[in-house]
A and B are shown apart, each in its own frame.
Chain A
Amino acid sequence: MIIDNETNSIWFRQSWLDTAFRCPERGRQAIVKPEWDEMTSDSALIGTAVHHGIEQFLHGNIASPKGIAGEAETFLDTFTDEIKWTKYETQSDLKRQADVCAQGWVNDILPNLPNLDDARPEVTFKIPLWSQHGYTIGITGTIDLVADGQLWDWKTSARAYNARDKQKHAIQPTIYAMAALNSDLVSANSFPMDFTYGIMIRGSKPKGQILKVTRHIGHADFATKRMMQLVDLFQFYGLDKTWPMNDDHFLCSATWCPWYSICRGAHISIADDRVSE
C-alpha cells in the first residue's frame, strides 16, 4: 500500500495485498516499519536471480536460454547485501538451486510459452480504479511476461503449486486481470481472464510446472471489496493504531514475520505454544 499524499492517491501492490488480506496488522507494519523487513531471504534471492536471468533472455540480451543460469549466478555473485539464511547454508547452495530453477524453466516452461514475437517482459502498470474518502485508489505492479494476449508470472518454490488453492485464493492473478481489463495489455480485455504461473521447483532435479488459473468478474468484485475495507481501515484507524491481527496461519511466526516480536510474540512465548505432555 503506497500512500501518495502529493496526488491524494493510494496504490495497492499484489504482494502487499497478499500480506494484508492474510493479516491486516502485518500489512500495517510493512508500511510503518519497513526497515524491519529489508533483509532478503535465501529462497527469495534465488528467485530474484533466476528472474533476472529469464528477463535477460526475454529482452534478447542473451542469445540462448542456456545462458539464463549463468546470468543468475552472476547476479548472485554481485549481490553483496546480507541475507537471511533459512533453508540453505552456502553461496554454492544458492547457485546450485538457481541452476536447477533455470534448467526447469528451459526444459518445462519455455517450450510451452506462447508466441514470443511481440512479447513484453517486465510490464509495469499503475492504474486508478475508483475514488474513496477523497483518494484515488489504484493498483500497481510488474507483470513478468505479457505474450500473445496471455499474462505470465515466474515463481520459484520448494514444492509444486496446488491448483485448487491458487484458483480459489491467489490474489496476484486477480490484480493482474484487473490491470489487463483497464489497459492495452491484452486485446480481449474482458472477464473471464486467464493467468499462468511458470513455477520452477527448487530441489535436486530441474522441474517446472505450468499452472493456469482463471479470473472471473466475481474475483475482481471481491478483491475490490477487500481493498475498500483496507482503505476504510487506513481512513478511520490511521496507521498509528493496531489493525486486526490474524495468527491463524503458519506465516504468523518469528521465522516468517519480521514484526512477530512486537505482535503475537510480545504476548505468547514459544513455551506457551508447546503441546503439553
Chain B
Amino acid sequence: MDKTSISILTQVAFKGAIEVCKGNIGNDAGNLAFIETLHFLTDCLMAEVSERTGESATRPAPASSPAPQAQVAVQEVFGQVEQVNTAVEIIPTKDGAPFGDMPAWLISAAQAKGVTKVFDNRNRLAQSPKSPWFKAPADQGEHAFWPPKGR
C-alpha cells in the first residue's frame, strides 16, 4: 500500500477516533482511549484493504495526541503570512488537567509572550490563591498567567 493510501486510511481512522472519544480528549485517560481507538480503527481498515487487494499494509506511527496532527495539516495551507505563534494548548498532566475550559483571556496573553503551551495550575488555587493560574514550561520562558483584573 502506498503512502497516500495509508495517509487516507489514517485520516479516516483519526476522524472515527475523534468521533468516538470526543468530549474526553484532553486528560490522560481520554488521550489513552483516543490512541487505542485510533490504533484499533487503523488496524481494522488496513486489514480490510489488505484482504480485498491482497496488498500488505504497515500501520504508520501513532499520533501522540489529536491537536498536533490537526495543526500540522493547518500549517501546510498558509499563504502569504509567516506565522510566529501557534494555537495555545494546555499541557495534559497526570493530575488530569485541564481543570476547566481554556479561558479566553489566556489566549492573547500567552500569544503576546510567544507562549503556545501552558501548565494548568487551577487545581492548586484553593490552597494558594495567589499562585498563577497557568504557567509556561521552562523552554517557553516560564511565564505566569493570572486572570485580568477588571479593566
User: Which residue numbers of A lie inside 8 Å of B, CB to CB?
Assistant: 5-9, 120, 123-138, 178-179, 181-185, 189-191, 216-218, 220-222, 224-225, 228
Q: Contact: B71 with A136, CB < 8 Å?
A: yes
Q: Contact: A126 with B84, CB < 8 Å?
A: no
Q: Contact: B148 with A218, CB < 8 Å?
A: yes
Name the B residues within 8 Å of A135 (CB-CB): 70
Other A-B pairs beyond A128-B86, A137-B87, 10, CB < 8 Å: A8-B18, A124-B79, A126-B81, A127-B83, A129-B88, A133-B23, A220-B108, A221-B107, A221-B109, A228-B104
B67 at the interface (CB under 8 A from A): yes
Q: Contact: A221 with B111, CB < 8 Å?
A: no
Q: Contact: B83 with A136, CB < 8 Å?
A: no
Q: Which of the residues A125, A127, A138, A191 comes within 8 Å of B108, measured between beta carbons? A: A191
Q: Which of the residues B15, B22, B66, B84 comes within 8 Å of A182, measured between beta carbons? A: B84
Give 25 CB contacts A-B under 8 Å. A5-B15, A8-B18, A9-B73, A120-B80, A124-B81, A125-B79, A126-B81, A128-B87, A129-B107, A130-B102, A130-B107, A131-B67, A133-B22, A133-B23, A134-B18, A134-B25, A182-B85, A184-B84, A216-B151, A217-B148, A221-B107, A221-B108, A221-B109, A224-B104, A225-B104
Cα of A224 to Cα of B148 in the assembled complex, Å: 14
Question: Which residue of chain A has the shortest Cβ distance to B76 in the bound complex?
Answer: A7
| Shortest CB distance A216–B (Å) | 8
Q: A128-B87, A181-B85, A191-B112 are in contact. Are A7 and B22 (CB under 8 A)?
A: no
| Shortest CB distance B148–A (Å) | 7
Q: A178-B108, A221-B108 are in contact. Are A125 and B80 (CB under 8 A)?
A: yes
Q: Contact: A8 with B70, CB < 8 Å?
A: yes
Q: Contact: B70 with A182, CB < 8 Å?
A: no
Main secondary structure on B side of the interface with A:
mixed
Q: Which of the residues B67, B80, B101 comes within 8 Å of A136, measured between beta carbons? A: B67
Q: Contact: A134 with B81, CB < 8 Å?
A: no
Q: Contact: A189 with B84, CB < 8 Å?
A: yes
| Shortest CB distance A16–B (Å) | 18
Cα of A137 to Cα of B87 in the assembled complex, Å: 8
Cα of A184 to Cα of B82 in the assembled complex, Å: 6
Name the B residues within 8 Å of A181 (CB-CB): 85, 108, 111-112
Cα of A138 to Cα of B112 in the assembled complex, Å: 16
Name the B residues within 8 Å of A6 (CB-CB): 11, 73
Cα of A154 to Cα of B17 in the assembled complex, Å: 45
B89 at the interface (CB under 8 A from A): yes
B74 at the interface (CB under 8 A from A): yes
Cα of A209 to Cα of B80 in the assembled complex, Å: 29
| Shortest CB distance B149–A (Å) | 11
Q: Contact: B74 with A7, CB < 8 Å?
A: yes
